[in-house]
Chains A and B, each alone.
Chain A
C-alpha cells in the first residue's frame, strides 16, 4: 500500500501521455492536459517522461503516504504542503510513510501534476494508464479519485541520486493576457476575411465551461462564409471549433475523436502548457504562426527536456 486518498479534491485523475492508436475506433486519447509539466515532474522524479502521474485540478487532493518514496510536483501552483509545511514545486522531494501531502488553495494556474518515483500501480488498459472518464476505462476504475482510495507504488525509492540537483525554477507564470500561437486550418476557408480578422485580432475570455473535453470561450462572434457545419472529420488536441453561433471552443484531451463543426485553427503543441493552465475569466489572444514555426517550437521544447534529463541525471 502506498497512498491513501484523504480528500480527493475537485478532479484528480491518473493520466499518462494518452491512449494512442485507438482513435480510429472512437476512443478518446485522454492523457495529461499539460504534457510538458508532466514530463518535467517525471524527469525530476527519475521516471520515464510518459509515466502516469496524478493530474490535480484547481482544488488538489490530500494524500497520506503509507510508504517512503520521492515525488515531484509541477504545473500550476495549487498550494502544496507536506505535514503543513509549504513545498516548492519543480523539485524532487522525499516523502516518508505517515506524511500527508495537502494542496491548500490554487495560487497560479489550474492544474498541478504529481509524479511518484517508480510510478503508480495502475493497470494498463489498451496501452495506457490514462483515465477516460466518459468511457470509464483506465486510471483508477475509469473514474476520478474518491475519498478512501488506495493506490500502490510500483517501484518506490526512499532516496534519489542527486536529489539536490533535481530542481528547476517553476515554469508557469500567470499573465493578464495570454497569447496562444495557432496554425490556421483545417477549415479556415469556411470563414470570411472579417471572421479570420476577428479571431486573430480580438481578445477572448475563458468561460466556466472548461473541462478535459473542451474550453469554451466568450468574445466577438467569428463569421462563417455559410455554415458552421461540416461532414464529420478528425479532431486534434488544441483544435479550435467554431459552431454556427460563432464562439470558439478549444478541444482538449478527452475530446471526441470526430466532429461536425468547422475548425478555424489549432493551438500549437508548444503552447499546450499555457492552455492547460487557463481558468475561467482568463483573457487570451490567438497569434498566427506557420507550421514550420510550430514544429520548430515543439522540437526546441523536446530538446530542453532532454537537456534537463541529462543535467539532473549526472
Chain B
C-alpha cells in the first residue's frame, strides 16, 4: 500500500488515491477501504465518494482534524488484505433494444460490421463494473464493454434523450438516468428507473456493483414500466460469481 496517497482537497474533505489508472484491481482496493472505513468507527465522517481510482472523504474538522484523521486512515490501509469483501451485486437491467427506443442500433451494427442481433448479444453478454457515479444523479461510469461494438459519439448531440436510454460512446456504455441532452449512440431503453427522487432509495445503482443487461420485448417493457409507475417493481439482482463475465 506504499503507492497510496493522501491528497488535500480543502479543509473539510480529503482524497485517498490508490493509483493512476482505471482498473478492477484498484477499484477492489477502494471497495475494501470503504468497507474498512465504514466498520472503523472513525468519528466525524460525513460522506464518502468513490471514483475510478480514489475515495473522497468529507469530514467534520470540529470532530476530527486532518492529521489525526490521516493517521487513523493509514492504520486501516495496513489491514486491507484481511478485509472480507462480500461478492458484489449484479443488477439485472431489462432493455428493449432497437426500434424507436434504440434508434442508433442499426448504425452501431453497421459500424461494427455485425447484425443488430449480434450487437445485442455482445451487449448483454458482459457484467459491467460500476466504477463510479457522477455527471447527473444516477449516471454510471461502466467498465468492460467489448471493443467489438465500440462506436464514436454522434457528430451532433441530441437535444433531449429520454430517461432510461441505453447508449454507447466510444468503448463506454451506460444508461441516461434523467432526460438530458447527449451524444451517445442509443441502442435501447430500459423501463427501470435508475433514479427517482421520491423513492426511499432514490438511486438504484451503487459504485462497486455490476450491471448486466438483458433483452426484453415491448410487452415486457410495458409491464415493467407499469410496475415502476405503481412503485411495485423490484429490480432483479444476484451476487456476482467469482470471475463472472
Q: Interface residues, chain A, CB within 8 Å of chain B? A: 20-27, 125-126, 134-135, 137, 183-187, 231-234, 236-239, 256-259, 263, 266-269, 291-292, 294-295, 297-299, 302
Contact = CB atoms under 8 A, between A and B. Distances in A.
B11 A294 contact: yes
B221 to A, nearest CB: 25
Contacts of A25: 133, 137-138, 202-203, 206
Contacts, number: 140
Contact of A295 (B11, B177, B197): B11
B10 A183 contact: yes
Interface string B63-76: 00111000000000
B207 A268 contact: no
Contact of A183 (B8, B48, B198): B8
Contact of A185 (B8, B51, B61, B135): B8
B134 A232 contact: yes
Interface of B: 7-13, 15, 17, 20-22, 46-54, 56, 58, 61-62, 65-67, 132-139, 141, 177-178, 197-198, 202-203, 206-207
Contacts of B202: 22, 25, 27, 126
A209 to B, nearest CB: 19
B182 to A, nearest CB: 14
B205 to A, nearest CB: 8
Contacts of B56: 23, 233-234, 236
A234 B207 CA distance: 13
Contacts of A21: 46-47
Given A24-B49, A126-B202, A269 B12 contact: yes
B138 A26 contact: yes
The 6 closest A-B pairs by CB, nearest first: A234-B56, A186-B7, A266-B10, A258-B134, A185-B8, A294-B11
Nearest to B56: A234
Nearest to B141: A232
Contact of B52 (A26, A135, A232, A238): A232
Given A238-B10, A268-B10, 12 more contacts: A23-B56, A25-B202, A185-B7, A187-B7, A234-B9, A234-B56, A236-B58, A237-B10, A239-B9, A258-B51, A258-B135, A291-B67
A233 B51 contact: yes
A269 B47 CA distance: 17
B135 A256 contact: yes
Contacts of B177: 26
14 contacts: A22-B47, A26-B177, A125-B197, A183-B11, A231-B20, A231-B52, A234-B13, A234-B15, A234-B51, A236-B58, A258-B135, A291-B8, A291-B67, A298-B61
